[in-house]
Structure 1
Amino acid sequence: SNQWSGDADAPSTDRLLNTDHRLLNTASPRVVVTRSREQAGEFADRLAAADFTPVIFPVIEFAALPPEPLDAALNNLSQYDWLIFTSINAVAFFFQRAEERGVQVEGVAVAAVGSATAVQLNERGLPADFMPDEFTGEQLALGLGDLTGKRVLLPRAKLGRPKIVELLRQQGAEVDDVALYDTVTAVPTPAALADLAAGFDAITFTSPSSVRNFVNLTSLQNLSNLAHAVIACIGPVTAAEAAKFNLRVDLIPDEYTIGGLVQVLREHFVMKGVKHKA
């Protein structure tokens, strides 16, 4: 069938590294992925499997911060009632340090924001005890209920979203929020810049910093392209950041995940009558 199909065979590597820049808006719309290089792969694979051409343009890198505050928390892990993760990066940096220190993460209840975060915890043998239905820190804090007398450890990005700290404290918790890593702007390679310059039909943003960094990195040179492209944001926080830069956000998925993003992009381009090549 030449209908748009999400269950196409998994893409081969040559498909992902395809430099044959087709005309825009043809069978395989070009979608920019702005995630970090480490995190771009899975998203690109899913886009390619759904008949998009991923354009990988990382605007974010992650750098570990000095570990002393985390080490202090790891040394006293048993004193915490809740360990809260709001991102897959927090999980990665936390467990990397725990392993280096030989600390077993156990005996503490774990809460996660987002299904991807929960999956990362499962893979490390520590399934989340609580996950809010809506993937926001606010929903997580409210869902945990009365936390009077409870100690909470929140490993997070340096920038982070301190709002959740305030909410947890309002619920009565004593919160130790520990900055594990910093989000820094990636330096695009000449190849990535060339791929971006070849044009795109849609661009995706998966965090507020991905929006800021993209705007800072590309300045005005891509704004003409942005005017014609579909702008898709993973959720309302990212969309609010895009609005600050006067970017028109076209798509936000119901589920704030990579899968949700791929789905809304497919629905959008199907409605525009895009069919993939027979």
Structure 2
Amino acid sequence: MKGLEGKRIVITRPAERAQDSVEMVKSYGAIPIVTPTIELKDSKPDEMINLCKMKNELDWLIFTSPRAIEAFFKYCNDIKSAENLKIAVIGPKTGEILDKYHIKADLIPDNYTAEGMLEAFEKFDVKGMRIGLPRTMVARYTLPHGLQNRGAEVILADAYKSEMPDDKSKIYELIDDILKKEIDIIMFTSPLTVKNLVKIAKEENKDGILDILQNEEVLVAAIGPITKKVLDAYKIDPIMPEVYTFKDMLDKLVEVMNNSEE
């Protein structure tokens, strides 16, 4: 794609989630630079095991990230035996991870957010239903509270946690590259990918990167409104696609770059 050809694009998502993104960035003629600013780790296996044991009592199981699926199926390999259980996923990429376990999602919302999931569930009477929700406990409570307000019983299970990477060397390199303006675009895929970068920059007394990002000397992209909200708080105005996927974010960047060259 002409707009991104030769551009150096930083991918801040966790290393294990980055490979597909790397290939996608390359397909646009850009140069991917993987710099994870978060690290995902399993949190409470006992809660995954207990949720698995409840599978025959659940009406729905909702996965809001690929990592939640991986954490759950690490401890639950017989979910197909739950005949009445339906599964919802937050978006098509999460659905692709579910496919790897030879299970098809029964519901994918049009809008890949908690609000979109709640909207998709409006077609069901969830009153009295039991809904399992394995996820990170730092996630917003929009989805569980919304379902509970409609009368559902939501069983939360702590699937994984997002932390600062143990090895911060690549983050230090990224900060220096931003200061030297040796990259063109940074793509943020979650609020914590933003917060951790800023935290390290401030600890290193290099929060001058904020001026560069605020002045759009290095472009910033956000995959969705929750990540954008965090960037807005730092007075950074990111590029954001209408559909919250990595590919749509790249397409939006192509559009912006091409328009800037006209």
- Asked whether 1:234 is paired with 2:223, we answer yes
Deviations 1:27-50 (A, max 9, x none): 511111111111122112211221
Counterpart code for 1:229: V
Partner of 1:13: none
Counterpart code for 1:255: V
Q: 1:260 aligns with which of 248, 251, 257?
A: 248
Counterpart code for 2:230: E
Deviations 1:231-274 (A, max 9, x none): 1100111101111222222x111210011111111222222339
Question: Separation in 1 of the partners of 2:229 and 2:98?
Answer: 28
Measure how far apart 1:175 and its partner are.
Answer: 0.5
* Contact 1:57/1:196 (8 A) holds in 2: no
Partner of 2:92: 115
- The CA RMSD over aligned residues, in Å, is 2.1
* Contact 1:98/1:104 (8 A) holds in 2: no
Question: Separation in 2 of the partners of 1:241 and 1:50?
Answer: 27
Identify if the C-alpha distance between structure 1 residues 190 and 183 changes in structure 2 by more than 3 Å, giving closer, same or farther: closer
Aligned residues: 249
- Asked whether 1:124 is paired with 2:101, we answer yes
Measure how far apart 1:158 and its partner are.
Answer: 2.1
* Contact 2:60/2:87 (8 A) holds in 1: yes
Partner of 1:163: 142
Question: Separation in 2 of the partners of 1:266 and 1:5?
Answer: 5
Deviations 1:193-217 (A, max 9, x none): 3355332111111111111112112
Give TM-score scaled by structure 1 length: 0.83
Identify if the C-alpha distance between structure 1 residues 192 and 211 changes in structure 2 by more than 3 Å, giving closer, same or farther: closer
Identity %: 26
Q: 2:118 aligns with which of 120, 128, 141?
A: 141
Equivalent positions of 1:1-278 (< 5 A) are: 4=2, 28-99=6-77, 104=80, 106-107=82-83, 108-145=85-122, 146-190=125-169, 193-194=172-173, 197-198=176-177, 199-219=182-202, 220-226=207-213, 227=215, 228-249=217-238, 251-273=239-261
Give the 3-state SS of the residue equivalent to 1:213 in structure 2: helix
Give the structure with the higher percent helix: 2
Give the 3-state SS of the residue equivalent to 2:50 in structure 1: helix
Question: Separation in 2 of the partners of 1:119 and 1:148?
Answer: 29
Gaps of 5+ in 1: 7-26
* Contact 2:175/2:201 (8 A) holds in 1: no
**Segment of structure 1 superposing worse, 82-91 or 189-198:** 189-198
Measure how far apart 1:5 and its partner are.
Answer: 8.0
Question: Separation in 1 of the partners of 2:234 and 2:209?
Answer: 14
**Segment of structure 1 superposing worse, 114-123 or 174-183:** 114-123
